[in-house]
Chains A and B, each alone.
Chain A
Amino acid sequence: MAITEAPAAPAADKRNPLTAGGTRITLIIGGIAVVGLALVYLLGDREPALITQYLVSGLLLGGVYALVSLGLTLIFGVLGIVNFAQGAMLTLSMYLVYVLQSSLGLNLYVAVVLTIPLLFGFGWLVQSMLLNRLTEDASHDRPLLVTLGLSLLIVNVLLMIFGGRPKSVDAPVSGSIEILGALADTQRIIAFGGAVLVAAALTLVLRKTSMGLAIRAVAANGTGASLVGVNVRRVYAMTFGLGAASVAVAGGLITPFTTLVPTAGEQFTTLAFVIVVLGGLGSIPGALVGGLFIGVLQTVGSLYLPGSGSLILVFGIFVLILFLRPQGLFGAKQ
């Protein structure tokens, strides 16, 4: 059992938590969000146009968060690994895009597509060469330290190769459009679309392919799966690879509006954990909704708690969720 001490035991549940939709919970969260926003509009004492801008920006930021969290929810949910290298892997994919673009002159989106198999391979290697050696004991401290070391390693190797001076990539599209009077950057809209696309693709892979079936089987019951002949280690490697491949899309799509330095991805690591737990370990719709929720909460919250104040709010909610609904919004009930 990979999700060693997770309070949610999904094995017996008919719906598989990896892809379960959770209509009811979506409605509840949507309801809360609508009521909260209505309160802000009516009693918030801020210009409605400004609130709309914050809301739109928050949703777009949430799209970025969701994009980064999708890969993590697979890795954390199926393998139970607290992957601290998530942010560093994100940076790695950004630099790959940068290299493909600056040396081969490729179009940004072609470069993004090319980084997907590269990162999949990278994730596969990391899991099969490093982390698979640690899965015998159920401890989480050693995988955690390995990913921590990996994160340091990636960041510093990038530093050795590219130096620390900021780099940037060219995007074929630029500019922005207006939504309800609020401004939305095209690049961020594309990233938002990317998040939805990655979520859909992951759901499809998990539901329709044999690889997905194996992953779901291992996530539900590792020992059981190995008894019926599933090569668990291979499935682990595939899962990590799949998680890394999602990160590649994330990195590629956020590169145009990010200053590229070797530590660029780090700021997302912490929030990605918040989102994954909030959404429910291993839940793809959960990561999507959780990302949007945190993005809106942080941005609209900063209307009243500027700067890092709104982050305190985010972590406060995170702890409350841990206490009151540790299986997360989309997690299966005990």
Chain B
Amino acid sequence: MKRKALSAAVLAASLVGLSACSSDSAESGSDSVETVTIGSVHPLSGSLAGVGGLMNDGAKMAVEDINAAGGIESLGGAQLELLDGDSQGEAQVGQSEAQRLISGGAVALVGTYQSDVTQNVASVAERSKVPFVIDVAVDDKILEQGYKNTFRIQPDASSMGQAGAQALVAMGEETGEPIDSAAYIHIEGAFGDSVFAAFKEEAEKQGITITKEITYSGSNFSDATTQVSEALAGNPDIIAVTGYYPDNLLVAKAVGSMANDTKAVFGIASGAFDDTSFPAAAGDAGTEVLSANYHYSATSDRAADIRARFEEKYGKPMETASMLSYQAVEVIAEGLEESGSDDPEELRDAIAGLSLEDPLLAFDGPIQFGEDGQNENATVIVMQVLDGKVEQVFPQQFATAELVFPAGSGN
């Protein structure tokens, strides 16, 4: 019986440990309006830790900037406080982190980069009636659940596919180099499938033939030569690509190593082609690669200032994902300002109704959310790698450099 008592003691000890968890953070209730707490859930460890860390830093910097500028005026200058959650890239961890942050007093959440984790956090937000502003997460499906508390700043997968096709046609017209055919290489799964489906629908409407659709597995991919040679076999005008950083880098390198007469490599929602580390990593193969994606606005002085300070502070360039986290915190701050309350439900209504001018992203207009919570003015612009740097080239209003088309990749 003694050993059972001992095992009971082990059990009890671990329970005590558990209850020690965050018992101290529970006291920050919502009655004091001196500080307002925002929860941030991102993958701070695991395979996505790099971008997750950047996003968390982006959100942190937004909080500091807002506090330095006097906090939330309508709440008597209340200061913001950011609680970090680490999803570890796993859906169930993301969910428990979201619950932890909410019971720790968070009146709003930002996150999470991955679509599956976002699903889980969105259901927590819905049940707790706490607004959740998605900075990055692409699946259309997330907002199709009819949730009332979830908002998304970036465009969804299918609208990016559609906008990508439109941009391609417009660029062809502008440069007098019409595009008749495209081969499409994309990652397997919901993200790649829905971008491709939307692209295909729009492209075919505009008279572009899809010569070939080639998919690859995201979890086991270390050579793109075969996929690219298959894509080139049909002699397409362009090769369109959708996927994440490592795999898209491989695709660009493979295209670069093969003789071909395509007019361009054209990323759509590509995780690589407009990343600041891409030009150096891809070398010659990266030259003049195009990328249609949501992007921080390089023509906005405010965004430029934030990026400069970010790089100085954290020693890393501020990628678009990180800018979106910054933007998400601003959206919440604006909601607090408008509602004049730190009650999550009033905050939700305020966010649903707001119209935030001067977005940090290159969007069509102010950030405002539709019925389903999607930012109605979210869109993509086209970037191009020129002189070892990612430049914005299309449409004209956002251009920082002249579009080179047909691009010289591979020739």
Residues of chain B with a CB closer than 8 A to A54's CB: 226
Q: A54–B214 Cα gap in the complex (Å)? A: 14
- B401 on the interface (CB 8 Å rule)? no
- A203 on the interface (CB 8 Å rule)? no
Contact, CB under 8 Å: A261 / B53: no
Q: A93–B316 Cα gap in the complex (Å)? A: 24
Residues of chain B with a CB closer than 8 A to A259's CB: 245-246, 249-250, 281
Nearest CB of A to B49, in Å: 4
Nearest CB of B to A230, in Å: 39
- B48 on the interface (CB 8 Å rule)? yes
- A57 on the interface (CB 8 Å rule)? yes
| Stretch from A138-146, A164-172, A324-332 at the B interface | A164-172
Please encode chain A, from 256 to 281, with 1 for each CB lying within 8 Å of some chain B CB and 0 for all others: 01110111101100010000000000
Q: A28–B188 Cα gap in the complex (Å)? A: 35
- B45 on the interface (CB 8 Å rule)? yes
Please encode chain B, from 168 to 195, with 1 for each CB lying within 8 Å of some chain A CB and 0 for all others: 0000000000000000000010000000
- B277 on the interface (CB 8 Å rule)? yes
Residues of chain B with a CB closer than 8 A to A47's CB: 233
- B74 on the interface (CB 8 Å rule)? no
Residue of A nearest to B214 (CB): A306
Residues of chain B with a CB closer than 8 A to A166's CB: 50, 245-246, 249, 275, 277, 281
Known A271-B220, A302-B226; contact A262-B47, beta-carbon cutoff 8 A? yes
Q: A91–B30 Cα gap in the complex (Å)? A: 46
B191-233 residues at the A interface, CB under 8 angstroms: 214-217, 219-223, 225-226, 229-230, 233
Contact, CB under 8 Å: A164 / B225: no
Known A53-B225, A53-B226, A57-B223; contact A163-B216, beta-carbon cutoff 8 A? no
Residues of chain A with a CB closer than 8 A to B225's CB: 53, 57, 183, 185
Choose one: A57, A159, A183, A261; the contact of B246 (CB below 8 Å): A261
Residue of A nearest to B281 (CB): A168
Choose one: B53, B223, B275; the contact of A188 (CB below 8 Å): B223
- A287 on the interface (CB 8 Å rule)? no
B135-181 residues at the A interface, CB under 8 angstroms: none
Q: Give the number of residue pairs across the A-B interface with Cβ within 8 Å.
A: 101
- B52 on the interface (CB 8 Å rule)? yes
Nearest CB of B to A262, in Å: 7
Please encode chain B, from 82 to 99, with 1 for each CB lying within 8 Å of some chain A CB and 0 for all others: 000000000000000000
- B263 on the interface (CB 8 Å rule)? no
Nearest CB of A to B189, in Å: 9
Residues of chain B with a CB closer than 8 A to A134's CB: none
A53-69 residues at the B interface, CB under 8 angstroms: 53-54, 57-58, 60-61, 64
Please encode chain B, from 45 to 63, with 1 for each CB lying within 8 Å of some chain A CB and 0 for all others: 1111111111000000000
Contact, CB under 8 Å: A307 / B188: yes
Choose one: B47, B229, B250, B253; the contact of A50 (CB below 8 Å): B229
- A226 on the interface (CB 8 Å rule)? no
Nearest CB of A to B230, in Å: 6
Residue of B nearest to A164 (CB): B50
Of the candidates A58, A60, A257, the one having the most CB atoms from chain B within 10 angstroms of its own CB is A257
Please encode chain B, from 15 to 43, with 1 for each CB lying within 8 Å of some chain A CB and 0 for all others: 00000000000000000000000000000
Residues of chain B with a CB closer than 8 A to A58's CB: 226
Please encode chain B, from 228 to 242, with 1 for each CB lying within 8 Å of some chain A CB and 0 for all others: 011001000000000
A241-267 residues at the B interface, CB under 8 angstroms: 254, 257-259, 261-264, 266-267
Q: A188–B49 Cα gap in the complex (Å)? A: 28
Contact, CB under 8 Å: B220 / A183: no
- B354 on the interface (CB 8 Å rule)? no
A98-146 residues at the B interface, CB under 8 angstroms: none
Choose one: A176, A258, A308; the contact of B219 (CB below 8 Å): A308
Contact, CB under 8 Å: B223 / A61: yes
Q: A54–B227 Cα gap in the complex (Å)? A: 9
- B399 on the interface (CB 8 Å rule)? no
Residues of chain B with a CB closer than 8 A to A254's CB: 222
Residues of chain A with a CB closer than 8 A to B45's CB: 156, 159
Residue of B nearest to A264 (CB): B246
Residue of A nearest to B315 (CB): A163
Residue of A nearest to B48 (CB): A164
Q: A90–B402 Cα gap in the complex (Å)? A: 43
- A311 on the interface (CB 8 Å rule)? yes
Nearest CB of A to B77, in Å: 35
Given contacts A53-B226, A185-B225, A302-B226, 18 further A-B contacts (CB under 8 A): A49-B233, A50-B233, A57-B225, A57-B226, A156-B45, A159-B49, A164-B48, A164-B53, A165-B50, A183-B225, A183-B229, A257-B222, A261-B50, A306-B216, A307-B215, A308-B188, A308-B219, A311-B217
Contacts A/B (CB < 8 Å), 22 sampled: A47-B233, A49-B233, A50-B230, A57-B226, A156-B45, A163-B50, A164-B50, A165-B316, A166-B275, A168-B277, A183-B229, A183-B257, A183-B258, A185-B225, A259-B245, A259-B249, A261-B50, A261-B246, A263-B47, A264-B246, A306-B215, A307-B217
> What 9 pairs between A and B have smallest CB-CB spacing?
A164-B50, A164-B49, A259-B246, A263-B47, A308-B217, A307-B188, A165-B50, A168-B281, A307-B215
Q: Which residues of B contact A (CB under 8 A)?
A: 45-54, 188, 214-217, 219-223, 225-226, 229-230, 233, 245-246, 249-250, 253, 257-258, 275, 277, 280-281, 283, 316
